[in-house]
A and B are shown apart, each in its own frame.
Chain A
Amino acid sequence: MKHLLSIADISRTDAIKILDTAAELARVSDTPMKKLPTLRGRTIVNLFAEDSTRTRISFEAAAKRLSADVINFSAKGSSVSKGESLKDTAQTLQAMGADAVIIRHGASGAPARLAACEWMSGAVINAGDGTHEHPSQALLDAFTIRKHLSQGREDLQGLRIAIVGDVLHSRVARSNVLLLTKLGAHVTLVAPPTLLPVGVESWPVSISYDFDQVLDSIDAVMMLRVQQERMSELFFPNAREYSRYFGLNTDRLNALHPGAIVMHPGPMNRGLEITAESADSARSVIIEQVANGVSVRMAILYLLLAGDTSIEAGL
């Protein structure tokens, strides 16, 4: 595997390898000397054509802990915001000798275009593309779920996970559906019908329009961010009604199965899809997701770039 573009491209074995490597690397992060020399002399470009502070700094921290040189190329003030084409940007990065490009882009498929084109030769890592996928987020979510709930198993066999909210526009949901089911979990998507894609019936998931009905039968609930602009696009009447039917409030929190965890990819709209009580409750692993993100992204960079580019080469 040369690139990480979509969870669809990686096997169950690859996925478990990434999670295991992340667990190994997490132990390093817990030591006072956090840095590994593995990627010394390698150049990694953070190409963020769309604003995203948390994913960018997570990848940056991961790359730096592996001693790579990191160049940040963000939308604001760069040539990308001045109308430079993806092709020209890619050729520029190629000329600078980038070994890997971590790309966040508003257009679905932009990382796939970079990887398929002849404009550059480095590894491409999808850090979120449009409404398509966000593979590293799904991997860190799976890592977090496994840590809490798998009781020593290497996969997520038999776990029941609900993904709640704007599935239609969510790259996090798409990557998670692919990854969690690949790892044996049973996924239920919970959303108003307007926020599920036409074609969702072909996905290996259950669908529910009723959040309350699924609460006592899930091991983890993953809340999705609701973008402000959806309000004006008639997907639901207003924020209050959305919150009433699909928000994770205290009553719903209390109705969860004992031991169930609460997740959110961030940034949260407190009071809309999740109340402060739920976000800050003992069941919430939201902060831990952020910490795990660094380890998982270290694993991705490590496996793609260290020595053999094949993920099978391992540690």
Chain B
Amino acid sequence: MSNESRKTLIKNGTLADGRVCDVLIEDGVIHSVAPTLTDPEAFVFDATSMIVMSGLVDLHTHLREPGKEDSETVLSGSRAGVKGGYVALSAMANTSPVADTAGVVEQVFRLGKSAGLLDVFPIGAVTQGIEGKVLAEIGAMADSFAQVRVFSDDGNCVSDPLVMRRALEYVKKFGGVIAQHAQEPALTLGSQMNEGIVSATLGLKGWPAVAEEAIIARDVLLAEHVGSRLHICHLTTAGGVEIIRWAKARGIDVTAEVTPHHLLLTDESARSYDPIFKVNPPLRTESDVMALRHGLADGTIDIVATDHAPHPGESKECEWQEAAFGMLGLEHALSIVVATMVETGLLDWSGVQNRMSVAPARIGGYSDHGREIAVGAPAHLAVINPKAPYRVDRDQLQSKSRNTPFHGMEFSARVMATFFHGQPVFQEGRSA
């Protein structure tokens, strides 16, 4: 990170609302926004024909530290994040040890601070050891230095309805939210991929859509009953979108996320038996993908979250059923959202800014993030060139892992620069 200048002038960029203007940053804060600004002392970034938006916020990231530093660390994940335009990541709790105590969440928080490229907000486990039985020390994590507000057993579903009810009630004390990985375990024992035509042919054990939808339906009703806030992680099914739509219409305080891979890929990719496409929840059908895109467009689905899940090579260079679930997301999420939502006419840039920055910051309670680009706001910005085609190369990633299913795909929108507290933490073409 360069500290040469306390001033940066982003010239001639297009804001998400369509205004073309200059943005002057001073001491990490937006100093002025106007059609034409000059400052001889400032480092100048020419953003002609580029979009300047509030920096991206991910509500669902696996940074693997502590415990699985061979796949990712807070530092390598931060580098991947800023390359993807992110200025805030939410570190999932399924580390080793699990982030179920104040000690672990503070450790992750401090690792984020020392990496210094973006904000790392730890997510706390709902239950001890993410085992779904006994509540973790939710209050202690909330009161810790890390000030945790989002709690999730992600990787596992909080499947016991009483545990889920209690967790939802308990976080009301400080306005927290439970982020549920919706997967009824009894319906998905040993499951490998979406249950349907493709799984029938491939002989891979199916993960039925109903196993996700049954939990979503139950949990929106629980959230309504106790008057608490629920977030549904990685929604994948058309039926799930319908349930969320119904719940919101009913006034239930529920939000939902979709991942870039579920917006782009289908279960047809499993026909290769290449476990690079193995992920939980699984890739679904074309009609699910379309329902997710439309749900994201109309706001039923509030946000895009990456579920960035790094794995070492040996976890994927094997038979499908032996392979680990999960794929990388941070570095290409924006490109994929543009390809699936903007280039298809479903979402405009203001919508992208909302789904990838404003809304996730609001759900997570990250008050410094997702702010309007206006005088006095912290200068957390992403600069995007919508027409800078590139091909994904798994050997050119910032992540420590290579398990990207997007290898070889071409996308047109590219993150050109990321500013965190006014500092250029990433610039395309320059090494970090």
Contacts and interface: CB of A to CB of B under 8 A. Distances in A.
Interface of A: 8, 85-87, 105, 107-110, 112-113, 116-117, 129-133, 171, 174, 197-200, 202-203
B273 A112 contact: yes
A87 B315 CA distance: 11
Contacts of B203: 108-109, 129-133, 171, 174
Interface string B316-351: 011111100000000000000000000000000000
Nearest to B189: A233
A198 B319 contact: no
Contacts of B432: none
A198 B204 contact: no
B200 A116 contact: no
Given A131-B203, A197-B200, A109 B273 contact: yes
A65 B103 CA distance: 68
A107 B200 contact: no
26 contacts: A85-B314, A85-B318, A86-B318, A86-B322, A87-B318, A107-B320, A107-B321, A108-B203, A108-B204, A109-B204, A112-B273, A113-B273, A116-B272, A116-B274, A130-B203, A130-B321, A131-B203, A131-B204, A174-B201, A174-B203, A198-B199, A198-B206, A199-B195, A199-B201, A199-B206, A200-B200
Contacts of A86: 318-319, 322
Nearest to B195: A198
Contact of A203 (B195, B198, B200, B319): B200
Interface string B192-236: 000111111111111010000000000000000000000000000
Contacts of A202: 197, 200
Size category, B interface: 20 to 34
Q: Which of A8, A107, A109, A132 has the most CB of B within 10 A?
A: A109
Contacts of B201: 8, 174, 199
A171 B204 CA distance: 11
Nearest to B272: A116
Nearest to A178: B201
Contacts of B208: 198
Given A85-B318, A131-B204, 11 more contacts: A85-B314, A107-B321, A108-B273, A108-B321, A109-B319, A112-B273, A130-B204, A131-B203, A198-B199, A199-B197, A199-B200
A234 to B, nearest CB: 10
Interface of B: 195-206, 208, 272-274, 314, 317-322
A62 B29 CA distance: 77
A107 B272 contact: no
Contacts of B199: 197-199
The 10 A-B residue pairs whose C-beta atoms are closest, nearest first, are A109-B273, A199-B200, A132-B203, A107-B319, A131-B203, A197-B200, A199-B197, A108-B203, A112-B273, A202-B197
Nearest to A201: B197
Contacts of A199: 195-201, 206
Given A132-B203, A198-B208, A108 B320 contact: yes
A107 B204 CA distance: 9
A174 B202 CA distance: 9
Contacts of B273: 108-109, 112-113, 116
A90 B241 CA distance: 44
A113 B319 CA distance: 7
Interface centre among A105, A107, A112, A171 (most CB of B within 10 A): A107
Contacts of A109: 202-204, 273, 319-320
Contacts of A107: 319-322
Contacts of B321: 107-108, 130
A313 to B, nearest CB: 28
Nearest to A197: B200
A196 B206 CA distance: 12
A130 B193 CA distance: 15
A131 B205 CA distance: 9
Contact of A198 (B200, B274, B317): B200
A131 B320 CA distance: 13
B317 A85 contact: yes
A109 B202 CA distance: 8
B319 A110 contact: yes
Contact of B196 (A117, A130, A174, A198): A198
